[in-house]
Structure 1
């Protein structure tokens, strides 16, 4: 997989980001104290049409759910759509920054530095991808917490406790996934 063209890998990252954005939206509406039946995975109100599998497709599903605007309010679908689009773009951008440019490790290397993209040639690509996966997982949790906090001024324990636990486990299992910084 590591020898695939960069464009294809970025497209895979965008697809994974769109799916992760759907997970973020699911978490926003599932873990909120005041749950709203906006999510395509929740049971719709009786006045609405039955939702289909196509309504659950990332990005496209929110465009299809515009038909429920009379019930949920005008523009209810815009924020979830933007969350999925930006998560997709963000996953691809983080991949390009961490893997292709290897910028996460710039502070760890002695000067003078070779040009970006050639920095860590001796390291295996799999080793470079491990931190990326943990960063993706923590980004998903942070996005859920952020948008629930914006809506309700509170962060649910399901996200707080699981996020701390996941972060501690990832830092223990793969300490190289931590951000570079000062050593004490």
Structure 2
């Protein structure tokens, strides 16, 4: 099958998954099932017709309004679907030659998209994603050792456990030191658990890259929002989206960039 056709299928499937991710983003913080309940209008509660669930297009057809046409719908629903499609295409383009690894990264990225928007809305990262990711990362490290560049299951499990310890432990230490200096919570434990999960999936080296890059992303974003008066100094700001952005960059080739950077200091 031509690569262009494969990527088109990946994009279409990503749009459909993105529609489901919108459901997760809306329901998980409220403890509602993402599987047993049918799709309904968020404004009036009526059950949506099949065509109203078509990713992106349904939002455009309804001119950005809800199923009953009474309330404007945020363009973020279409944005989540488009981002998910872009993620599917990007991962398949980079890792498509290694099917199990590509599928794991696609699923991981989907969970990270959910975590990002929930953190933006509620300043929380659900344990289903963070703690669930820690367990899944350990299990998949053993089942798919190629995820860590290994061939033996025990080595894959070892690398996943080391990544979990370095990621979660390292960020916990930073959060503890920051809280001691500022005399208030410097970081939520959801961020710590999320980085532990990422370490289990991506290895301990990734956590160093993610901590460094996410700190720069978070600082740059925070300063920019303050300058345009969309955020005030000292107000809480979710750090999860910065962690997610750095993790996605690592998955799509950040390890090669880190290697090139470190090579500058080798004799």
User: TM-score normalised by the shorter chain: which range applies?
Assistant: 0.5 to 0.7
2:130 counterpart of 1:160: yes
Partner of 1:120: none
Q: 1:30: how far off?
A: 1.4
Structure 1 unaligned runs (5+)?
A: 100-124
Partner of 2:28: 31
- Distance of aligned partners of 1:34 and 1:131 in 2 relative to their CA distance in 1, 3 Å threshold: closer
CA contact under 8 A between 1:41 and 1:56: conserved in structure 2?
no
Q: Out of 41, 64, 67, which is 2:65 matched to?
A: 67
2:142 counterpart of 1:144: no
Structure 1 distance, partners of 2:147, 2:58, is 34
Structure 2 unaligned runs (5+)?
A: 149-201, 206-267
CA contact under 8 A between 2:39 and 2:47: conserved in structure 1?
no
CA contact under 8 A between 2:38 and 2:47: conserved in structure 1?
no
2:1 counterpart of 1:7: no
Q: 1:46: how far off?
A: 7.9
Q: 1:142: how far off?
A: 0.9
Greater RCO (CA < 8 Å, at least 6 residues apart): 1
Q: 1:89: how far off?
A: 1.6
How many pairs are equivalent?
Answer: 146
Structure 2 distance, partners of 1:26, 1:48, is 14
Q: Greater CA deviation, 87-96 or 40-49?
A: 40-49
- Distance of aligned partners of 1:172 and 1:62 in 2 relative to their CA distance in 1, 3 Å threshold: farther
CA contact under 8 A between 1:135 and 1:177: conserved in structure 2?
no
Partner of 2:242: none
Q: Secondary structure at the match of 1:44?
A: coil
Calculate the TM-score normalised by the size of structure 1. Answer: 0.67
- Distance of aligned partners of 1:137 and 1:46 in 2 relative to their CA distance in 1, 3 Å threshold: closer
Taking the TM superposition and a 5 Å limit, the aligned residue runs for 1:6-155 are: 6-33=3-30, 41-44=38-41, 47=44, 50-65=47-62, 66-68=64-66, 71-72=70-71, 74=72, 76-99=73-96, 125=97, 128-155=98-125
- Distance of aligned partners of 1:170 and 1:153 in 2 relative to their CA distance in 1, 3 Å threshold: same
Q: 1:47: how far off?
A: 4.6
CA RMSD of aligned residues (A): 2.9
Partner of 1:109: none
Structure 1 distance, partners of 2:136, 2:143, is 10
Query: Which has a greater percent of helix?
Result: 2
- Distance of aligned partners of 1:61 and 1:168 in 2 relative to their CA distance in 1, 3 Å threshold: farther
